[in-house]
Amino acid sequence: MTPRSLWPLSLVVLLLVIPLGCDGDDDDSIGDDDSAGDDDSGADCLSTTTAQGIEFIHICGGTFDMGCTAEQSSCQDDESPVHNVTLSRDFWLGTTEITQQQWQALMGNNPSHHSSCGQDCPVENLNWYEALAFANAVSVAEGLPECFGLDDCTNAPGNAMECSSVSVNSDTGSLYDCEGFRMPTEAEWEYAARAEDTLLYAGSDSIDEVGWYEGNSSETLHPVAQKQANGWGLYDMSGNVWEWAWDWYDPGYYPTSPATDPLGPGPTVYRTYRGGAWYAPAEYTRVARRNHDQPDRFNYGLGLRLARTVP
């Protein structure tokens, strides 16, 4: 098997946002005891809470233009056409990418190629199955049902885990209806990265203000939250490490994407990831840029950020 750190990445959506009732209150918790297992359907948007040491921001559902909108540059064919998307459910999204400390606290290992970077650096070298396994581990630790059924898996998370099949544990079968922690969909990711702004990157038209990329990273990743956050308080949505999303990847999906709560196309060969990385050109960190790889692939610039549907 090829060493974890040497898998190649193939360097390979979006916005007039109409948020539903975000009031900017930043003093919220999930439930009376600040536990992520409690119902918080009345929580204020853009408030924060924590689960297993991971901070989350409450993102209101809303409507936006996804794809290669007018402010974007170097647009790719798979970013078109621009299409109107409504997210009908509020969701929690991690303020930062999952760190090496947060991963190790639950999983007991550190697969990162850049382990010497420190505990506050993003965990990387993760494939898509391992990202799902971590989401399940957070759910279990918080007393929530796991979002994902992972069947016939080989190896432990952090050691090139692979599974023969993945299912969603919800009454409807929809990812949006599972109770625990999960990957964001591509639509959720881009909506949150844009944060009501018509900007090239997540929080700025200057990548140097908001992200680590090949032009300023000194050829390594960096601790999370060292750059400016975007308008909704999310860090490193552009640059540092790519972030796995839930969706299968199909370059021709946008023309047929549902207008409400899209989940991505049917099964293909690849899963999507977003956001660019410390070694990538600035154009790969644009909020509309899409990328993809096989779900068993991992790389020293590929990590994750967790989401959870607000009950």
Q: Each residue of 117-148: pLDDT tens digit?
A: 999 999 999 999 999 999 999 999 999 999 99
> Which helix (H) or strand (E) is 291 found in, with range?
strand 291-293
Check residue 302 and give its pLDDT. 98
Check residue 185 and give its pLDDT. 98
167: left (phi over 0), alpha (psi -120 to 50) or beta: beta
Tell the residue number behind the tokens 């647009």, with chain if given: 75
Check residue 36 and give its pLDDT. 40
Residues 289, 190, 47: CA angle, nearest 5 degrees: 145
Check residue 254 and give its pLDDT. 98
> What is the mean pLDDT, run by run of 10 residues, along the chain of 311 residues?
44 38 44 39 82 98 97 95 98 98 98 97 98 98 98 96 98 97 98 97 98 97 98 98 98 98 98 98 98 97 98 93
Our count of domains for the chain comes to 1
| Cβ–Cβ under 8 Å, residues 305 and 22 | no
Pairing mode, strands 242-248 and 83-87 = unpaired
24: containing domain: 4-309
Check residue 52 and give its pLDDT. 98
Check residue 236 and give its pLDDT. 98
Check residue 16 and give its pLDDT. 36
DSSP letter string over 181-246? -BPPPHHHHHHHHHTT---SBTTBS-HHHH---TTTSTTS---TT-S---TTS---SSSSSEEEEE
Check residue 105 and give its pLDDT. 98
Tell the residue number behind the tokens 């119902």, with chain if given: 39
CA 58 vs. chain centroid, Å, equals: 14
Check residue 43 and give its pLDDT. 58
CATH number of the domain bearing residue 74 = 3.90.1580.10
Angstrom CA distances, 112 to 104, 125, 159, 294, stand at 10, 5, 11, 19
Helices (runs of H) and strands (runs of E) counted in the chain: 4, 13
